[in-house]
């Protein structure tokens, strides 16, 4: 067994309700015996932050952007990266991400950590499962805050939906952007938008066809591989390529002045944490906005995974990086059992901007109507949204009318914002050699990412952690309230609601609010 630096982060600032620590089994899976002891695996060992007291992220988020003082990535690493003492105990750690990658035989690592590893048979995705909780050697218990990678259960699903209605025609991407007013707030120049992907890839000819058809310059996204993953188009237009190309095409067309960096990682909890922390601490590409169109129900995550993601989003806030995530495409149940109310993570993190979905009707670039996206009756999905059972109500949502969580607690409300997501009023894109019309909340996330990149361009400073500012009364003119419709468990109404959050953007008004002109 040996330790080498790896892309992960600390996570010692824990969620208030950590919930289960061992991962749940995939439905339909069955035990298939012990995992081969000689099989090589890699683990991500997460370290605590070094330095003194960490900044109050919620207070930072409430500070007007012109008065914010963000830390550079280099200064952040110096102040809050892994401490010299912890680095001495676990050699090879990545200081900024506060992590070590352990490589070794599965039997050896499992014995070291006091767990058992089992093979789980599944019709489509056999995987390695962890039994028991890791127990660390006494000398490491203070330094280490989590271990990821003992199990390889696929966790993430892309939040896109293809339009299968032959009578519906998708909107050109710039038309939707113009309807929301993006064209009046800069072009995103100087910004880098990071896109996290967990399968599939994009192809240069598809980008040339899409951007060329719009008369826009064709971007050259930077590809960053994490944990051995890379840009790998499958050729299946109904698979993950649709997610990747939707993200790249929307972000590139709606923020044509921005650079794009695409982070590919394996579809697992470990891969997700490693991808986000790689992007947050990327001192080469330096994304100021990170868009995530993948997720899963809160209960499908381990406590260590949620805590690591929350910690990474806090790191991002202090460095002026906005993290956004799609709120899910399976309505108020988020794909859980019928009658269940659940929200999608990481959109449910208080340090992430959760993006819900609407059905948008346009006349030219004018909005005729906008309601909650819900086509559950037709089997075509609906926007996610509801109340977290893992994260408490954040202070910025006090007084906006978040209902009680299904377990009766006061929880974080999801989503925060919304944009067009119904595939029947979706986006005309290009995937795997063919034109396609795609929606889903995975479209709302890169749209909002492009808007925030453009707002940062106009402000002369990255927007960074925006949630508290967006909930301030002064920002209300920046939203078009979505007051009609439901997501199968909650109904829309005046003000914030668990279907469309604060509403869809009115870009010029948001710019004025973030400048402190309201």
Residue boundaries of the structural domains of the chain: 1-518
Three-class HEC string of 118-160: EEEECCCCCEEEEECCCCCCHHHCCCEEEEECCCCCCCCEECC
CATH classification for the domain delimited by 1-518, as one of 3.90.550.10, 3.40.50.200, 2.60.40.1180, 3.40.50.2300: 3.40.50.200
Q: What is the dihedral of CA 285, 290, 291, 294, to 10 degrees?
A: 100
**pLDDT at 3 exceeding the cut of 70:** no
pLDDT in tens, 57-69: 999 998 988 889 8
Q: Per residue, what are the HEC states of 208-237?
A: HHHHHHHCCCCCCCEEEECCCCCCCCCCCC
Q: Please choose, from the candidates 269, 364, 343, the residue with its C-alpha nearest in 3D space to the C-alpha of residue 312.
A: 269
Q: Catalytic site residues?
A: 243, 247, 442
% of the chain surpassing 90 pLDDT: 80
Q: What is the pLDDT of residues 119-169, one digit of tens each?
A: 999 998 899 999 988 998 888 889 999 999 998 988 888 888 888 888 888
If you ran DSSP here, which 8-state letter would residue 171 be given? E
What is the pLDDT confidence band of residue 21, given thresholds at 50, 70 and 90?
low
Q: Dump pLDDT digits (tens) for 411-438.
A: 999 999 999 999 999 999 999 999 999 9
Q: In whole numbers, what is the pLDDT of the chain averaged over residues?
A: 92
Largest CA distance in the chain: 66
The burial of 141, by beta-carbon neighbours within 10 Å (0-12 exposed, 13-18 middle, 19 or more buried), is given as: exposed
Write the pLDDT tens digit of every residue in 254-279.
999 999 999 999 999 999 999 999 99
Q: Look at residue 408 and tell me whether its pLDDT is greater than 50.
A: yes
pLDDT band at 84 (very low <50, low <70, confident <90, very high): very high
Judged against a pLDDT cut of 50, whether residue 7 lies above it is answered with no
Compute the average pLDDT of residues 16-21. Answer: 40
Per DSSP, the chain holds a count of helices (H) and strands (E) of 12, 26
Long-range contacts of 143-146 (CB under 8 A, 24+ apart): 143/47, 143/48, 143/85, 143/86, 143/89, 143/90, 144/45, 144/46, 144/47, 144/48, 144/90, 145/10, 145/11, 145/12, 145/46, 145/47, 145/48, 145/307, 146/11, 146/45, 146/46, 146/304, 146/307, 146/308
Cα–Cα distance for residue pair 145/43, rounded to 1 Å = 13
Structure tokens at 383: 């926007």
Between 9 and 518, residue with greater pLDDT: 518
């Amino acid at each position: 067994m040996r330790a080498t630096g790896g892309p992960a982060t600390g996570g010692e600032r824990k969620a208030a309700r950590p919930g289960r620590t061992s991962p749940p089994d995939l439905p339909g899976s069955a035990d298939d015996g012990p995992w081969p002891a000689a099989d090589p695996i890699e683990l991500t060992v997460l370290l605590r932050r070094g330095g003194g007291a960490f900044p109050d992220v919620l207070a930072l988020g409430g500070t007007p952007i012109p008065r914010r003082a963000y830390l550079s990535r280099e200064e952040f690493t110096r102040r809050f990266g892994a401490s010299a003492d912890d680095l001495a105990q676990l050699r090879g750690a990545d200081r900024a991400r506060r992590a070590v990658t352990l490589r070794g035989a599965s039997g050896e690592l499992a014995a070291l950590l006091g767990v058992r590893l089992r093979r789980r048979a599944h019709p489509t995705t056999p995987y390695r499962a962890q039994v028991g909780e890791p127990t660390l050697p006494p000398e490491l218990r203070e330094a280490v805050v989590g271990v990821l990678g003992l199990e390889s259960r696929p966790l993430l699903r892309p939040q896109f939906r293809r339009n299968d209605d032959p009578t519906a025609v998708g909107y050109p991407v710039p038309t939707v952007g113009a309807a929301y007013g993006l064209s009046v707030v800069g072009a995103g120049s100087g910004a880098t938008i990071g896109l996290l992907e967990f399968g599939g890839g994009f192809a240069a000819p598809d980008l040339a066809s899409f951007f060329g058809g719009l008369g826009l310059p064709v971007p050259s996204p930077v590809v960053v591989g994490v944990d051995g993953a890379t840009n790998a188009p499958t050729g299946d237009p109904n698979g993950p390529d649709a997610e990747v190309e939707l993200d790249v095409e929307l972000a590139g067309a709606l923020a044509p002045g921005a650079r794009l960096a695409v982070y590919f990682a394996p579809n697992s909890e470990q891969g997700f944490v490693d991808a986000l922390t790689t992007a947050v601490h990327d001192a080469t590409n330096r994304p100021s906005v990170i868009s995530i169109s993948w997720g899963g129900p809160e209960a499908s995550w381990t406590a260590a995974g949620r805590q690591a993601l929350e910690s990474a989003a806090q790191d991002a806030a202090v460095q002026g990086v906005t993290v956004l995530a799609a709120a899910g495409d399976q309505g108020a149940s988020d794909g859980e059992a019928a009658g269940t109310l659940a929200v999608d993570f990481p959109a449910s993190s208080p340090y992430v901007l959760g993006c819900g979905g609407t059905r948008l009707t346009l006349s030219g670039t004018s909005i005729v109507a906008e309601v909650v996206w819900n086509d559950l009756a037709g089997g075509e999905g609906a926007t996610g949204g509801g109340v977290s059972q893992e994260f408490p109500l954040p202070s910025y949502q006090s007084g906006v009318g978040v209902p009680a969580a299904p377990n009766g607690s006061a929880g974080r409300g999801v989503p925060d914002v919304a944009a067009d997501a119904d595939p029947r009023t979706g986006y005309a894109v290009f995937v795997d050699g063919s034109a396609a019309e795609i929606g889903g909340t995975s479209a709302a996330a890169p749209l909002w990412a492009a808007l925030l990149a453009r707002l940062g361009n106009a402000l002369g400073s990255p927007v960074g952690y925006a949630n508290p500012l967006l909930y301030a009364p002064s920002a209300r003119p920046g939203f078009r309230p979505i007051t009609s419709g439901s997501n199968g468990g909650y109904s829309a109404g005046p003000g914030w609601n668990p279907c469309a959050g604060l509403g869809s953007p009115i870009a010029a008004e948001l710019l004025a609010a973030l400048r402190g002109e309201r």
